[in-house]
A and B are shown apart, each in its own frame.
Chain A
Amino acid sequence: MNFLEIVLILSAALFVIGFIALIREYVAKKEFTDVMDEIPWGLYIVAYFFFGGVGGGLLVWSAIRGFMTDDGSGLVLAILSLAFFIAAGFSLLLDLGKPSRFWRIFTIKTQSPMFWDFAGLAAGLAGTVGLILFHCGDLVFATNEQLGGSFLQISGWGSMGKFLLFLGANANIGFIVFGIACGMMVFAAECWTLNLCPGKGLWNERSLFFTLLFDGILFAFAFDGLLRLSGSAQSILIPFLVAALLLHILGYGSEHFLPKKKASPQVKTKTIWIAALEIISLVLLMINNYSGTYWLVLIASLLVLTGGVLHKYDQVILPQAAMSYEQWTEYKTPPIYNNQLSKASVCFGLLGLAGIVYFVVVKILAALLSF
């Protein structure tokens, strides 16, 4: 059993756990138990920002890989990006109080950041499709050995496959630019969402776009290292981690990195944990530079992603719990978000969904190529 088969089985297991947790919530009518008027957004929105960030980062990294090489890693990254965008979309859907009215998003209210969240996801999906088409051209050069770890085994080329190869081989740099632009749109939409309260100065953070972009690319490198896609990610991951550490430790003057003094105690210590995880990851990666041991990269990547999830938790929950406008005197005690195992289980289920979607898309692509 190879590494990705193990990942697939884990994804399926996570999906089943998440699905059962979701059904139990709906049956017990406890789907909104974590929602408070003071903290209306919870773990599902944290999941949206995480999966959206991963998808956007993978999209940008896949586009950049298009400039660098044609070993097929760009194709795998693009398909992974698609899978995470789908998981991000589902996390938004699950958070809605009335998911059956989701179609009303097509009212196209351009003043609403949420419309742009969905538009950003749609753009991200379009970008991934474009890059998948573009990177199909890589398959001319990539060998089955290079692709072998990704499930994309080409058994033969049918007329549809040759057509896709033709499209990919003749795709120009426009696809790469399109992919990067779509990725930027995802981060821009996320940035506007987190800055949506004009009355709450706490959220008017000009650097937030770069924070989100930085996070996304960090996650992309972590996944690249985790899945051993390009082989170069871990060397790039080190300087990014150093930069992330400096940003977290120095605070960058931003509430999105360091909690305010009056923040809820629930999130006060998160930054310390994030920095600790990043330091350990950095040490492991530096040791790996000498030893070349994959397990060090695996653990380092998982730690980076765990720190990333905690960071997204801070970005979503912290501003809500920090309560601007002297609301401390009004509410007497700071609101505490009610973390729930069932909600976390559903979020893990969405991660499993991303893994399954990746597997399904790869199989569909392989089938199309041999059609």
Chain B
Amino acid sequence: MHYGMVIDLKRCIGCSACTIACKLENRTPENVYWTKVLKTETGKYPAARGIFVPRACNHCTDAPCVRACPTGASHNTDKGVVIIDKEKCMGCRYCVLACPYHARSFEKAPTTGMPGGDYKKNQGTVSKCTFCQDRVTEGKEPACVSTCPAEARVFGDLDDPNSQISRLLKLESPRARVLYPEAGTKPNLFYLD
């Protein structure tokens, strides 16, 4: 089993509902966003258009953050998800530097945030998208996937050829790409251009 995600950029409307859903689900502290939608504009009037690119951890197979971590806190699970063991993280922020996708956040001293979050315990450590492992274990989809009103995100098992994600990648292979392939990280977050 190897989890991955596909984001269809033609479907994304830049509403940032995924950002809010992720924050609500994971109780991330102030100024920490595990997923965000980057918005740029291209072209000139009257042909200008907005481009919305949802960004999150790419859960790379050859993750530089895992290699950089001196304590083993950042590691790949057997399902291909890169997670951070909060008990081991000493907050050196090597992984933040190593990640070419700027997917990680350092949890500084949060003064406000979502009720129920474990702020004091996680203060001084690094956090990032976990593909909502708790939800996935219960058979649900990650919060960002289930919330997306445009159904731009698809999550599933890349090793299962019959899964929706595998079939979508096969069908839309000319449009499928990953971010910064030259980094050699083998990301498992795909974009349909």
Interfacial chain B residues near A169, Cβ < 8 Å: none
Tell me whether B90 and A35 are in contact (CB under 8 A): no
Q: Which residues 120-167 of A sit at the B interface, judged by CB distance below 8 A? A: none
Nearest-CB distance from A269 to chain B (Å)?
24
Determine the distance from Cα of A324 to Cα of B96 in the docked complex, in whole angstroms: 14
Q: Which of B68, B96, B102, B123 is within 8 Å of A112, CB to CB?
A: B68
Interface of chain A, main secondary structure: loop
Q: Which residues 52-91 of B sit at the A interface, judged by CB distance below 8 A? A: 53, 64, 67-73, 88-91
Interfacial chain A residues near B40, Cβ < 8 Å: 329-330
Contact with B along A88-120 (1 / 0, CB 8 A): 000000011111011011010101111100100
Interfacial chain B residues near A240, Cβ < 8 Å: none
Contact with B along A180-223 (1 / 0, CB 8 A): 00000000000000001111110000000000000000000000
Q: Which residues 74-98 of A sit at the B interface, judged by CB distance below 8 A? A: 95-98
Tell me whether B108 and A111 are in contact (CB under 8 A): no
Q: Is A371 an interface residue (CB 8 A)?
A: no
Tell me whether B106 and A35 are in contact (CB under 8 A): yes
Tell me whether A97 and B90 are in contact (CB under 8 A): yes
Contact with B along A34-46 (1 / 0, CB 8 A): 0101101100000
Interfacial chain A residues near B124, Cβ < 8 Å: 32, 96-98
Nearest-CB distance from B131 to chain A (Å)?
20
Determine the distance from Cα of A199 to Cα of B186 in the docked complex, in whole angstroms: 11
Tell me whether B67 and A111 are in contact (CB under 8 A): yes
How many chain A residues touch the partner (CB < 8 A)?
Answer: 39
Determine the distance from Cα of A97 to Cα of B106 in the docked complex, in whole angstroms: 9
Interfacial chain B residues near A261, Cβ < 8 Å: none
Contact with B along A316-338 (1 / 0, CB 8 A): 00001000110101100000000
Interfacial chain A residues near B104, Cβ < 8 Å: 37
Interface of chain B, main secondary structure: loop
Tell me whether A37 and B105 are in contact (CB under 8 A): yes
Across the interface, name the chain B residue whose C-beta is closest to A99. B90
A325-B180 contact in complex given A109-B70, A112-B69, A197-B98, C-beta closer than 8 Å: yes
A112-B94 contact in complex given A37-B106, A97-B125, A197-B100, C-beta closer than 8 Å: yes
Q: Which of A31, A95, A101, A324 is within 8 Å of B89, CB to CB?
A: A101
Determine the distance from Cα of A33 to Cα of B111 in the docked complex, in whole angstroms: 13
Tell me whether A109 and B100 are in contact (CB under 8 A): no
Q: Is B161 an interface residue (CB 8 A)?
A: no
Interfacial chain B residues near A99, Cβ < 8 Å: 90
Tell me whether B93 and A101 are in contact (CB under 8 A): no
Determine the distance from Cα of A99 to Cα of B166 in the docked complex, in whole angstroms: 43
Tell me whether A114 and B125 are in contact (CB under 8 A): no
Binding site for B on A (CB under 8 A): 29-33, 35, 37-38, 40-41, 95-99, 101-102, 104-105, 107, 109, 111-115, 118, 196-201, 320, 324-325, 327, 329-330
List 15 A-B pairs, Cβ < 8 Å: A37-B102, A38-B102, A96-B92, A97-B91, A97-B106, A101-B88, A105-B70, A112-B68, A112-B69, A114-B68, A196-B94, A196-B98, A199-B180, A199-B182, A325-B100
Closest 5 CB pairs of A and B: A97-B91, A199-B183, A97-B124, A199-B100, A40-B93
